Structure formats: structure tokens, C-alpha cells
Structure 1
Amino acid sequence: MSIPTEPIGSIPRPRALQQALGEHAQGRLSDKELAELQEQAAADTLARLEELGCPVLVDGEQAKPSFATYPIAGLAGLAPHGVTIPFSDGHVRQLPHLTEGPFRYQVRAESYLRDARRHTDRPLKQAVIAPSALSLLYPAESIAGYSREAFLRDLADEAEADIRGCLEAGAHVVQLDFTEGRLSLKLDPSGALLDDFIALNNEVLGRFGEAERARLGVHTCPGGDHDSTHSLDVDYAGLLPKLFRLEVGNFYIQLASEADPERVLGIIADQLRPGIRVFVGVTDPVDPRVETPEEVRDRVLLAARHIPVDQLGTCDDCGFSPFADDTSTSRDLAFAKIAARVRGTGLASQALGVPTEAK
């Protein structure tokens, strides 16, 4: 088998869908009309990824409002002005905050997976938001009649059901998006918040058996929104040793945009254990320049100096345009980068003498 390669999740939405989202928000487009356009965009995404030779497909999150907030779309008991996430270019994303309990997901990720399955019989990956990210919804002050402890119990149950539903629906792999991991070290340099995040995620992951955890993964990156990041300046050395405590079989690690990727690879090598695979980022969605397949190949060969080939995979650093209103990256640019990743990974497989799967 050749070195595996997978997308992270988000793909920029077509221009027509972007316009439709605005019209829907203004009440000029029905829910049904929007859903039809979202399904068309997902079908097109799947078809284009298949044409590029991607061994594992995603729907591009065409129907998600964002990678982070899909479970709470339509949830009563939310108020604005929750935790703020500042990006390096000065713009800010802000989460809502919870005002009442009990906490329940309104949308489960398996619904996206089942919709995507109607359009392809290829292996499908499904991204879900890590429970640690949603833990930020609980405000600093207590909610009357609904303690933080009760909220975290409900959250863990809901996150487990979200993941389990995707596994039962036939996901090739379920990826927990954990972009808040690196960010937590900026919010709390002591590392205590990160420890809480790891513990909460492992509380959920520990409910799955060994065979199930082999189909689970976690993605980390410094965020990506409007061609900017929120935590690229945070040293990976503070995150990675704790990240590898997570009880999953796959790790998807942003690397292409790192200033010193070999240093990061050395940290990863120190944390390797049997039975896991590390997918290293070989394309940078924030960089408008398209990597060449040869550049991707060389990044893979560098990684193979530190990670055994049978534990190595490749991915994009982050999703492309993970928020629905982000138009900074074009759809064609994203697919060009993905094509370079797929082809470059194949070149690296050949250079390393790894058999390539027959097409």
C-alpha cells in the first residue's frame, strides 16, 4: 500500500452557494432551496476529489455553518459574546455562550456522512468538532440550575453519540478537529487549560474500543481563517507531548507552514508509539501559492527520516475555508493544492520504494 493521504475536511464553497447563504440569512431563500444547493456543492466536491485520485473523500463541509458550530445551529439558550478568538491579521471570531441547560446537539455529523454516501461508494472521512472546543460555550459565571459539571457530562454524552453515529454510518475514519489545542496555550500559558481539554477528549475517546479507536483521529493546526492563523506563534513543543496522549489511532498535524518543520518532526518522533499513524501537513491552505508535487515529495521524504513509513501519512495543514463566510481561498486553488498533495505523496511513495495501489 502506498503512503496514505487524506484531506482535512473543509473545501471552499462555490460562488453560487456563497451567494445563497447571504440570501438565506436575509430571508430571500428557503431552507429547501439552500439545502438543494448545498447538496449539489457536496456532490461536486466528492466528484472532483475522486477525479484527482484521492483515496479518501470528504464532502467539503458544504452544509456546515462552520467546522466548529454545526452541532449548535438552532440551539435555544445561546447568547452572543462568548469566548473570542483573535487572529494574527486583527480579525476576531467569537463563540456564543450557553445560558441554560440541558445541552444537546441539534445536528449530528452522521447526517452529512449519510448525505455524502448517496453520491459515492469511495471511502468517506467525517470530521467532527472535539468536545473540548464546545466546552468553551459554558460561561465563566455559573448557569442557575445547570452546573458546569452537569454541562460537561451532557457534552461528553453528546460528543460520544456524534462520533459513534459516524462510525456506525460507515465512516472510513472520524477526525476530531482540535484547533483549540494550540490556542489553549495562548489563552493559558500554564498548560492547565490544555490539560483539561486532553482529559475531556479522552473521557469521550475512552468509551470506544481498540478497533474503533483505530478509526478515530485528531487534527491540530494553528487555525486558518481569511488567510490568517490564531496560534502559529505558539511553540509546538508545548502541545505535541500532550496531544499524543489522546487515545486515537491517527494524528493529523499541520507542518507545511512551520518555520522549522524538522524540529517539529523530531518532537513527533519522540512521541511515537506502536499502532498510531501520523499524517503530516504537506500543503499550506493559508499560502496562495500552489505547491509543486516535487515540493510535496520532498516534504514527505523529510518526514520519513523521522517517522517510519508504515506510520506515515500526508494531509493538508488545515481545512480550506472552514467558516462559511470565508472567501479568501478560491475553490480551484484548494483543488490545485490537493492535486499536488496526492501526486507528491505518490512520488514520495515511489522514491521510498513503497508499492503504489493500482488505480
Structure 2
Amino acid sequence: MSLPTEPIGSIPRPAQLLNGMQEHAAGGITDDALAELYDSAVRDTIAQLEALGSPVVTDGEQSKPSFATYPLHGLSNLGPDGAVIPFADGHTRQLPRLTAGPFRYGTFSSTYLQTARKYATAPVKQAVIAPSAVSLLYPADGIDGYPREQFLADLVDNAEADIRGALDGGAHSVQLDFTEGRLSLKLDPSGGLLDQFIALNNRVLERFTSDERQRIGVHTCPGGDQDSTHSLDVDYVELLPKLFGLRAGQFYVQLASEPDPDRVLRVIADRLPGEARIFVGVIDPIDPVAETPEQVRDRVLTAARYLPADRLGTCDDCGFSPFGDDVSTSRETAFAKIRARLEGTAAASTELGVG
């Protein structure tokens, strides 16, 4: 077998679905018609990934409103004026604000997994949002009759249910998206907010057995939206030691877009956690030019100078379109990049004598 290689999550949506989403928002098509477009996009995404030979597939998050907000779908106790996330190019994303308790997930990831498994013959990976990101919904001035500690207790219960539902539903692995980890160091350079995030996520992870945690991974990146990032200017070295304190069996680490990957790899090698596998990013999703298999091979071989092959895997740095309205990368470019990752990882595996 080759070194393991996995997608992170989102794939750009086909034009037919994007048009259908706009028509639905304008009242032009029914809920059922939109559901059929979602279903078709999931089926096509999985078919293309499997045709490329991807050993693990995802649904491409075709029917998620975003990687971060899917649990909120269907909730009525939210206001529009939540935390604002600024990106380097000046655009922003705004989260909702919780207006009343109790907090419950409106949608669980197992809903998406069930659809994907209808069409997949390869193992299916399920991405979920980390509870630390969802914690940003709670307003700084609190909610009368619903203290923050009660909110966090409810959040931990729901986040556990989200992960457990995916594991029990047959997911090959479950990936916690933790893009807010690096961002937290921009919001609070002291690291206090990051410590809170790590502690909260571990409250959830500690509810799983060691065997279950081997199927749970954590993804970190500086955000990738509309060809921009929210925290690439934050020193990665400040994040990684604390990141590896998360009780997970796999880590998906953005690396292709780092200006000094060797420096990052030295830190990873020095802090390599337990028996966890490190999937290094070998594809930069917001670079408009598709990498070549040779570039990917060389990135893998660089990583192999620092990390043992039996602890190494490859991935994309981030998802390609983590928000439903992001059209900055074409579907064709995304699949070209994925092909390069698969072929380059296989070439590196041959040189390393893996498999």
C-alpha cells in the first residue's frame, strides 16, 4: 500500500447546483428540487473521487451551508450579529449569535454521511466542526437564565453526539475542523483563548475510547475562503505544540502554503504526539495553478526527512470551498489538484519503499 492520502472536505459545487441554490433562495424552485440537486452533486463528487483512485472519499460538503454552520440548520434561537472573522483580503464572514438556551444541534453530520454512503464504494471520511468553533456563538455579555457553563455542557454533549453518530454510522474516520485554532492566536496572542479551545475540545475527545480516538482526527489551517486566509500571518510554531495536546489519533496539518515548511516540520518532529499519524498538506487549494505530481512527490519526500513513514500521510491544506457561496476555485481545478496529490503521493511512496 501507498502512504495514506485523504481529502480534507469541501469540493467546489457544480454550476447546476450553484444556480439551483440561487433559484431556491429567490423562490424559483422547491425544496424537493434543491434536494435532488444536492443529491446529484454528492453522487458526482464521489464518482469523480473514486475514478481518480482516491482511497478515501468525502461528500465534498455539497449540501452543507458551510463547514462551520451545518449544526445550526433549522435552529430558531439565533440572531445574525455574531462574531466576525476578517480575512486578509478585507472580506469577512459573520457567525450567528445564540439568543436563548438551551443549545442543541439542529443537524448532525450523520445526515450527510448517510447520503454519501449510498453512493460510495470507497471508505467515507466525515468532517465535523470542532466544538471550539461552535462556542463562538455564545455572546460575550451572556444570556439571561442560560449561563455560559451550561451552554458549554450542552455543546459538549451535542459535539460528542455528532462525532459518535458518524463513527456509528460507518465513517472511516471523523475529522474535526479546527481552523479557529490558529485564528485564536491572532485574537489573543497570549494563548489564553487557544488554551480554552484545546480544553473544550478535549472535554469531547476524552469521552471516546483510545480505539475510537484512532479514527478521530483534527484538521488545522489558516482558513481558506475566496482565495484568502484569516491567520496565515500567525506563526505556526506558536500553535503546533498546543495543537498536539488534543487527544486525537490523526492530525491534518496545512503545510503546502507555509513559507518555511522545514521549520514547521522540525517542530512537528520534535512534538510528534503519541502514536498519532500526521497528514501533511501537499496541495494549496487557493493557489490557482494546479500542482504537478512531481511537486507533490518532492513535498512528501521533504516531510519524510523529518517524520517516519509509518506515521506519515498526505492531504490538501484545506477544503476547496468551505462556504457554500465560494466560487473562487473551479471544480475542474480542484480535481486536477487532487489527481496531483494522489499521483505524487504514490510516486513518493515508491521512492520511500512504502508498500
Matched to 1:111, the amino acid is T
What is the CA–CA distance in structure 2 between the aligned matches of 1:20 and 1:174, rounded to whole Å? 29
Inter-partner Cα distance in structure 2 for 1:93 and 1:51: 34
Give the distance between the partners of 2:273 and 2:25, measured in 1 at CA.
Answer: 47
Does the alignment pair 1:127 with 2:112? no
User: Could you say which residue in structure 1 is the equivalent of 2:261?
Assistant: 261
Say whether 1:294 aligns with 2:294. Answer: yes
Q: Which contiguous aligned blocks of 4+ residues in structure 1 show a shift greater than 6 angstroms?
A: none
Q: What is the SS of the residue equivalent to 1:157?
A: helix
**1:8 equivalenced with 2:17 (yes/no):** no
Structure 2 distance, partners of 1:164, 1:88, is 35
Show the counterpart of 2:185: 185
Deviations 1:9-36 (A, max 9, x none): 0000001111111111122221111111
Q: Structure 2 counterpart of 1:122, which letter?
A: A
- Structural mapping, 1:12-91, within 5 Å: 12-91=12-91
Distance 2:324 2:277 in 1: 30
1:126 maps to a residue whose letter is Q
Q: Deviations over 1:46-94 (max 9, x none)?
A: 0000010100000100010000000001211111121110000000001
CA distance in 1, matches of 2:133, 2:288: 28
Alignment of 1:332-347 (within 5 A): 332-347=332-347
Cα drift, residue 274 of structure 1: 3.4
Give ranges in structure 2 of 5+ residues lacking alignment. none
- Which position in structure 2 is the counterpart of 1:210? 210
* Corresponding residue number in structure 2 for 1:329: 329
Q: TM-score, normalised by structure 2?
A: 0.99
- Structure 1: which amino acid aligns with 2:75? L
Paired with 1:271 and 1:42, the residues of 2 have a C-alpha distance of 37
Deviations 1:97-149 (A, max 9, x none): 00001001011001111111111221000000000000000001110110101
- The 5 Å alignment of 1:348-359 reads 348-355=348-355
- Quote the residue 2:248 is aligned against: 248
Q: Give the Cα separation in 2 of the matches to 1:154 and 1:29.
A: 36
Match of 2:151 in 1: 151
Which whole-Å CA distance do the structure 2 matches of 1:215 and 1:29 have between them?
Answer: 39
Determine helix, strand or coil for the equivalent of 1:85: strand
Q: Which amino acid aligns with 1:344?
A: G
* Post-superposition offset of 1:194: 0.3
Whole-angstrom CA distance in 1 between matches of 2:59 and 2:120:
10
2:225 and 2:312 map into 1 onto residues whose CA distance is 27
Deviations 1:189-242 (A, max 9, x none): 110000000000000000000110000000000000000000000001110000
Counterpart Cα distance in 1 of 2:231 and 2:311: 27
Distance apart, 1:164 and its partner CA: 0.0
SS at match of 1:223: coil
2: CA distance between counterparts of 1:3 and 1:354?
7
- How many residue pairs match? The answer is 355
| Equivalent position SS for 1:115 | helix
Task: Return the alpha-carbon distance in structure 1 between the equivalents of residues 182 and 227 of structure 2.
Answer: 18
C-alpha distance in 1 between matches for 2:83 and 2:151: 17
1:160 aligns to what?
A: 160
Aligned to 1:284: 284
- Alpha-carbon distance in structure 2 between the residues aligned to 1:95 and 1:33: 28
Corresponding position of 1:233: 233
Partner amino acid for 2:24?
Answer: H
Residue segments in structure 1 that go unaligned for 5+ positions in a row: none
Distance 2:135 2:142 in 1: 13
**Range with greater deviation from structure 2 (194-203 or 27-36):** 27-36
Structure 2 letter corresponding to 1:34: L
SS in 2 for 1:104: coil
Letter in 2 for 1:141: D
Tell me, in whole angstroms, the C-alpha distance in 1 between the residues paired with 2:253 and 2:177.
11
